[in-house]
Structure 1
Amino acid sequence: MLAGEAAARFELVNEYLSHLLDRNYSPATVRAYGYDLLAFCRWLTEQDLNPEAVTTNVLLDYLKACREASVPGRPGPNVVTMDGQRVDRYAATTINRRLAAISGLFTFAGLRSPDAKNPVPRGREARWMVAGERSGMLAHTTRRRKPRSALRLREPKKLPVALSASDAATLVGSLRTWRDRAIAGLMLWCGLRSCEVLALDVKDVDIGGRWVTVTGKGAKQRRVPLDPDVASVIDVYLLAERPESTSERLFLVAKGPHRGQGLTPAGLRTIFRYHRELTGVRGGNPHAFRHTFGTVLAEAGVDLAVMQALLGHAHVDTTARYVHLAPAHVKAEFDAARERLRTQNR
């Protein structure tokens, strides 16, 4: 929530964030929107404007300011990426998320006052149907298409980056506690997100039946098969290493003043940062393990619907990105096609 001397001018923002919490939005989403709207309110204060005075032209000025702003702590304007983009600028995804937060704010204001005009212009529909949806084969996955704002920036479509087998083995091999090995195993061999791992309770893990009940984004639950090796590691952790605690969380802090409390995202990032520096595996962040799991499934030729269920994706389009990440599978199919052509031409 916004606080301070100028907070009274932006009471609408606090009401909107409370509205998102009431609608069961993720606390992480509400927190991100809060920071996005805080940046917008600070800019409005510099321009001596209130939310009621915001027009489309004002939004265009704000987006221009976002594109031209420098990010503190990054190298100067003389440092660019391989594609020529300056690294001291906000990414298009960051600016678009700020725009989404602002759009939601004024949509909420319209619910309160139907006569209020939304300064965020509506654009064309967000996405087209894929071929399978048009033909009916994937009709059950079709989402209602929503119009996006015409002010959105183009975002680069980047594929997830997976770890090589050697890098993954090196990083996992450097972990010294049963807890850390269990966490890495759940992400690498079961495909869980780091936030899903940290949210696990002891009762969510069925070691005998080898199932894990996972609560993913939007509080959606799914059951994921538990790898037998990971199940053994979790079993040892519960019997020999997990500290006594009243907390129901599976993974707890082992040392220090917070011993027995649930492991936090910051604590998990610290663990992986230490082992990245120790092993030299630069891409060894928690989410890279999940990307590696998805890539392995794609290379093994697992059905797309099964991959979607295992990874907990809301739509099959997200899962389909991993198919493009399977170079070994693609190369094998390419070589097989060439061999068939050569055989036919003989």
Structure 2
Amino acid sequence: MAVFDEVERDVTRIVLPRWGGVAWVDDPVPWLVVDDHGAPVEPVRWFFRHLMAQGKASSSLRSYGYDLLRWWRWLQVIEVEWNKVTTAEVRDFVLWLRQAKKPRRHPRTQSASTAGQVNPVTRKKNLGDGYEARTIRHSNAVLRSFYEYWITDQGQGPLVNPVALDRAGRRANAHHNPLGPIRPEGRIRYNPKLPKQQPRAIPDEHWKKLFAGLRSNRDRAVLELSVSNGARAAELLGMCPVDVDWGEQKIRVYRKGTRAAQWLPASPDAFIWLRLYLAELGTPLEPNDPLWWTLRRRDRGDGLRRQPMNYEALRAVLRRANVLLGTNYTMHDARHTSAIRMHRDDTLSLRDIQEILGHAHLSTTAETYLAEDTDAIIRRVAQHLAERERRAAQPPPSVAIGYDSADLNVLFGGTSR
């Protein structure tokens, strides 16, 4: 009988404490993971300095921070030092994530009955209370990168990376071409499988209803810009008046991750709604001011003022429209809609769509956004079945003069008259 040294944990009974947090600081490294006393967690702080020097975006550091904060809370519960963990701790952590519920500041109210359910109108699944497969995979990738930095670059931490790769018995780069670069091989061992992603285009009739449900010209301008060129919500919210070329009808966005500037075309309707929004705003904007502002004025200690529109405010815009229509659309659905509309246009190549969407690899465009729409396949098959029924209901063709219908039936195995 085998004897195991590792501790067997009942992950169903583990509850993570509300310890520490992710804090913004006015520093070249703008995000920190801090403990209950506000002191930075030093291993994470040095890791973030490494990432910022590599050119990572500030938003990426914030995302990494929440993954590492959750990991530090886990280490406190299981009472293991960060530099002494093994694959067993990572395995148990993934098992805990697969069955745990996400902490919420406030309990669900209106969305409690629809959490995790499929919306009958959009056929999209609402977010549930647990951790999705993509969240777990992202957490594993962050942890592997964190330990890779401390083991490889600093020579500290565990002897081996606890977030192991599963190479199925193969040696890494066993058939590597010596003329090419060395690439990491193998998937992370405890990564859950992802369901096949389906395109999330908004049908034209639903798009008209969604657009009509918006309350302001500002909201209509944002959505029309997004659906005309597929720009991400964060890229649109980062725009300034100087990023709008009225003559050429283009807008400039700064791409997610690389922060590279790129000019994108936009529809004439988008510029009409944008012009109406700026006219209603009243206050002239400076060239480098934020382009999007809240409609209501708030007092933040310096009098009633409009505030720059953030992502939470934009989510609230979609949330109000979804409640009105009984849907669960998001801003990213507008990006999917734009990609699929461009794909259906024979004048645009796949390379054109890749450039407009800002993808580094053509495979991302082809596999993620341009997968065959299941609903479209069902409609085509339904048309095929209806056509078969129509042909079957038609009377058999008449036999030409001079031929015997009985002989033709024997010859061709059919029915004629």
How far residue 95 of structure 1 moved from its aligned partner, in angstroms, is 1.1
User: Which residue does the alignment assign to 1:60?
Assistant: 91
Alignment of 1:15-34 (within 5 A): 15-34=46-65
User: Which residue does the alignment assign to 2:323?
Assistant: 277
State the Cα RMSD in Å: 3.3
Query: Which structure: larger Rg?
Result: 2
Distance 1:71 1:143 in 2: 40
User: Which residue does the alignment assign to 2:252?
Assistant: 213
Distance 1:328 1:94 in 2: 27
Q: Is the 8 A contact 1:313 1:319 kept in 2?
A: yes
Q: Secondary structure at the match of 1:189?
A: helix
Q: TM-score, normalised by structure 1?
A: 0.79
Using a 3 Å threshold, how does the CA distance of structure 1 residues 298 and 329 change in structure 2: closer, same or farther? farther
Q: Deviations over 1:167-225 (max 9, x none)?
A: 11111122232211110111112211111110111111101111111211121222211
From the two aligned structures, give the one with the greater helix fraction: 1
User: Which residue does the alignment assign to 1:96?
Assistant: 137
How far residue 31 of structure 1 moved from its aligned partner, in angstroms, is 1.4
How far residue 10 of structure 1 moved from its aligned partner, in angstroms, is 4.2
How far residue 244 of structure 1 moved from its aligned partner, in angstroms, is 4.0
Distance 2:252 2:246 in 1: 11
Using a 3 Å threshold, how does the CA distance of structure 1 residues 115 and 322 change in structure 2: closer, same or farther? closer
How far residue 46 of structure 1 moved from its aligned partner, in angstroms, is 0.9
User: Which residue does the alignment assign to 1:342?
Assistant: none
Q: Secondary structure at the match of 1:49?
A: coil
User: Which residue does the alignment assign to 1:167?
Assistant: 206
Distance 2:181 2:378 in 1: 33
User: Which residue does the alignment assign to 1:137?
Assistant: none
Q: Please point out which of 338, 343, 347 is paired with 1:298.
A: 343
Is structure 2 residue 230 aligned with structure 1 residue 187? no
How far residue 308 of structure 1 moved from its aligned partner, in angstroms, is 0.7
Q: Deviations over 1:137-178 (max 9, x none)?
A: xxxxx9985334223222212123111111111111222322
Q: Secondary structure at the match of 2:364?
A: helix
Using a 3 Å threshold, how does the CA distance of structure 1 residues 266 and 243 change in structure 2: closer, same or farther? farther
Distance 2:147 2:81 in 1: 13
Q: Please point out which of 139, 155, 159 is paired with 1:114.
A: 155
Q: Secondary structure at the match of 2:193?
A: coil
Q: Secondary structure at the match of 1:24?
A: coil
Is structure 2 residue 370 aligned with structure 1 residue 323? yes
Q: Is the 8 A contact 1:242 1:251 kept in 2?
A: no
User: Which residue does the alignment assign to 1:243?
Assistant: 283
The letter for the 1-side match of 2:34 is A
Distance 1:216 1:144 in 2: 27
Distance 2:76 2:37 in 1: 8
User: Which residue does the alignment assign to 1:261?
Assistant: 307
Using a 3 Å threshold, how does the CA distance of structure 1 residues 98 and 332 change in structure 2: closer, same or farther? closer
How far residue 28 of structure 1 moved from its aligned partner, in angstroms, is 2.4
Q: Is the 8 A contact 1:163 1:288 kept in 2?
A: yes
Using a 3 Å threshold, how does the CA distance of structure 1 residues 69 and 174 change in structure 2: closer, same or farther? closer
Q: Deviations over 1:229-279 (max 9, x none)?
A: 212222233344353455611111232217443210011111111122123
How far residue 124 of structure 1 moved from its aligned partner, in angstroms, is 4.4
Q: How many residues align?
A: 315
Using a 3 Å threshold, how does the CA distance of structure 1 residues 329 and 8 change in structure 2: closer, same or farther? closer
How far residue 121 of structure 1 moved from its aligned partner, in angstroms, is 1.9
Q: TM-score, normalised by structure 2?
A: 0.67
Q: Secondary structure at the match of 1:2?
A: strand
User: Which residue does the alignment assign to 1:341?
Assistant: none
Q: Please point out which of 309, 334, 337 is paired with 2:355.
A: 309
Distance 1:143 1:162 in 2: 38
User: Which residue does the alignment assign to 2:20?
Assistant: none
How far residue 331 of structure 1 moved from its aligned partner, in angstroms, is 8.7
Which piece of structure 1 moves more, 1-10 or 18-27? 1-10
Q: Secondary structure at the match of 2:197?
A: coil
How far residue 112 of structure 1 moved from its aligned partner, in angstroms, is 4.3
Q: Is the 8 A contact 1:212 1:223 kept in 2?
A: yes
Distance 1:328 1:272 in 2: 24
Using a 3 Å threshold, how does the CA distance of structure 1 residues 143 and 212 change in structure 2: closer, same or farther? farther
Q: Please point out which of 26, 50, 61 is paired with 2:81.
A: 50
- % identical aligned pairs: 27
Q: Is the 8 A contact 1:202 1:250 kept in 2?
A: yes
Q: Please point out which of 254, 270, 293 is paired with 1:252.
A: 293
